[in-house]
Amino acid sequence: MTGTKISLDQACRTLQSGGVVALPTETVYGLAADILNPSAIRQIFQIKKRPLFDPLIVHCSHKSKLRYLCKYTSPIVEKLSEYFHPGPLTLVLPKKSHVSDVITAGSTKVAVRIPDHPLTLSLLEKTDMCVAAPSANLFTKTSPTRAYHVMDTLNVPVLDGGPCSVGIESTILEVNEAQKTLYILRPGIIGINLINHFCQKNHFTDWTIKYKSSTSVPGSISSHYQPDVPLLIFNSKKSDNFSDNVIDIEAQIKELYPGRSPKELKLQEEPWLCARELYHKLRQLSKDPNCVGYIIKNPLFYKNSEEWTAIWDRLEKAAFKTI
Ligand code: TXA
Ligand code: MG
């Protein structure tokens, strides 16, 4: 598959004439179309082979667009946007009637965020558009964090904004005003502690923050982000001797997958760096069709933190199984 690189002006014109364009964001590349053009929105689903029950995130350039897209009364909504936007936080709120049901997959709520990438912000400002944009990959496959990741798999025009700085998808936060609750629907690099800090600092102390099981997100399925080769996660124990572990694991893989070569996917120790390189590393695994990727999950090394929660959420969905 060969997508083509285009300039910012060409990207604006393509969107204005009802086409789709792959755009850089700080999280992953998105496949964008004008929210007011129903046939362009349908193209996104066709190109990604994405089922229509999986709703799309709307991207805009300024918090004033929240009022245009969503219904809310509490000051927490705009404060969240002031504090975290542009950035990797998506807000889910009741939608206004002009936001198409195709975008929200029939839900009365819409997901919105302001992406933190200068090219995409400039495009949204120049066109004065809001665009719906899922990650620019085939459904269930690994999200792209470089322009050529998109061009390798989708035949679409791509605005090249370099490597994504965050590397995993935004945190999705549903704002439930009636329950005074913020529900984390998808973990991301902005975790519960940061959101809690925001609530304390801005005097929203009567709000509760909770994780909601991922099955409650329409598009959440247990297999996602998958590379083209099998990926296995091995839980290692504290007392394990590391090198014995590798020999043992590789022997198990050779027995499970005769003729294939085991390849360890080593994760960086620092979670922000790990997230940034994660999908690139998963794609590199797929380049050797005869390999089986594996990760050793050592509890000593991968400390329990919000960032790691988001990273393991992706890896566990990308993995064929955990042993
Ligand atoms: O970082 C990101 O969020 C990237 C970049 C491109 O912005 N986008 C992204 O989009 O990850 P996508 O479509 O690959 O994942 C969006 C997730 C899906 O699981 C979908 O179900 C959920 O957001 N979502 C979208 N609209 C929703 C809504 N109205 N209510 C609940 N979940 C929603
Ligand atoms: Mg996606």
CB-ligand 1 contact for 66 (6 Å cutoff): no
Report the pLDDT value the prediction gives residue 320, as an integer from 0 to 100: 79
Q: What's the CA-to-centroid distance between 1 and ligand 1, angstroms?
A: 25
Q: Which atom of ligand 1 is nearest the CA belonging to 143?
A: 14
Q: What is the mean pLDDT of the chain?
A: 92
Each residue's pLDDT tens digit, 11-70: 999 999 999 999 999 999 999 999 999 999 999 999 999 999 999 999 999 999 999 999
Contacts made by residues 11-17, CB under 8 angstroms, sequence distance 24+: 11/123, 11/157, 11/159, 12/123, 12/126, 12/127, 14/157, 15/40, 15/123, 15/127, 15/129, 15/131, 16/127, 16/129
Tell me which residue has tokens 């998963």.
Answer: 282
pTM: 0.94
Q: Percentage of residues in the chain with pLDDT exceeding 70?
A: 93
Closest ligand to C-alpha of residue 275 is 1
Q: What's the CA-to-centroid distance between 154 and ligand 2, angstroms?
A: 14
Report the pLDDT value the prediction gives residue 94, as an integer from 0 to 100: 98
pLDDT band at 303 (very low <50, low <70, confident <90, very high): low
Each residue's pLDDT tens digit, 97-128: 999 999 999 999 999 999 999 999 999 999 99
Report the pLDDT value the prediction gives residue 8, as an integer from 0 to 100: 98
Q: What's the CA-to-centroid distance between 135 and ligand 2, angstroms?
A: 4
Report the pLDDT value the prediction gives residue 231, as an integer from 0 to 100: 94
- Give the separation between CA 61 and CA 70, rounded to whole angstroms: 15
Closest ligand to C-alpha of residue 166 is 1
- Give the separation between CA 2 and CA 140, rounded to whole angstroms: 20
Least confident of 38-47, 230-239, 294-303: 294-303
Report the pLDDT value the prediction gives residue 150, as an integer from 0 to 100: 97
Query: Probe ligand 1: pick from 29, 41, 57, max atoms within 8 Å of CB?
Result: 57
CB-ligand 1 contact for 127 (6 Å cutoff): no
CB-ligand 1 contact for 170 (6 Å cutoff): yes
CB-ligand 1 contact for 137 (6 Å cutoff): no
Closest ligand to C-alpha of residue 28 is 1
Instruction: Give, as one character, the DSSP assignment of residue 226.
Output: B
CB-ligand 1 contact for 136 (6 Å cutoff): no
Q: Percentage of residues in the chain with pLDDT exceeding 90?
A: 78
